[in-house]
């Protein structure tokens, strides 16, 4: 499974529906046939999801990467 390429172009957050300048992949929709899709969310939503009980490992890693690159921790 891939987690996309990190920061995504701006748009509407799929979780809180706010319009934001940058989004990250917060969920990957896997389907049995045809192409799957991805859900994109703003960083605050991504962090909330990353701390939840169903947080995928790749999302936690993605946020760690972003924090490390920006030196925000
Ligand atoms: Zn959001």
Residue 61 lies in a domain: yes
Is residue 1 in a domain? no
Q: Is residue 55 part of a domain?
A: yes
Residue 41 Cα, ligand 1 centroid: separation in angstroms?
5
- With respect to residue 47, please indicate whether it lies within any of the assigned structural domains: yes
Q: Where are the alpha helices (DSSP H) in 1-73?
A: 43-50, 57-70
pLDDT over 70 percentage in the chain: 90
Is the pTM higher than 0.85? The answer reads: no
Residue 29 in any domain: the answer is: yes
Domains contained in the chain, number:
1
Indicate whether 2 belongs to any domain: no
Domain that holds residue 32: 7-70
Query: 12 falls in which pLDDT band (50, 70, 90)?
Result: very high
Q: In this structure, what DSSP letter does residue 6 have?
A: S
State in Å: Cα 38 to ligand 1 middle. 14
Tell me how far the alpha carbon of residue 13 lies from the centroid of ligand 1, in angstroms.
Answer: 5
What does the alpha-carbon distance between residue 57 and residue 73 come to, in Å, rounded to a whole number? 19
| pLDDT digit string, tens, across residues 40-49 | 999 999 999 9
Please compute the mean of the pLDDT values over residues 47-57 and round it to a whole number.
93
């Amino acid at each position: 499974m891939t987690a996309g390429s990190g920061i995504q172009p701006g748009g509407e957050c799929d979780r809180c529906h706010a319009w934001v300048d940058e989004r990250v992949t917060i969920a990957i929709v896997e389907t049995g046939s045809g192409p799957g899709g991805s859900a994109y969310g703003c960083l605050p939503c991504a962090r909330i999801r990353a701390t939840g009980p169903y947080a995928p490992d790749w999302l936690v890693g993605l946020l760690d990467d972003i924090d490390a690159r920006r030196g925000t921790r």
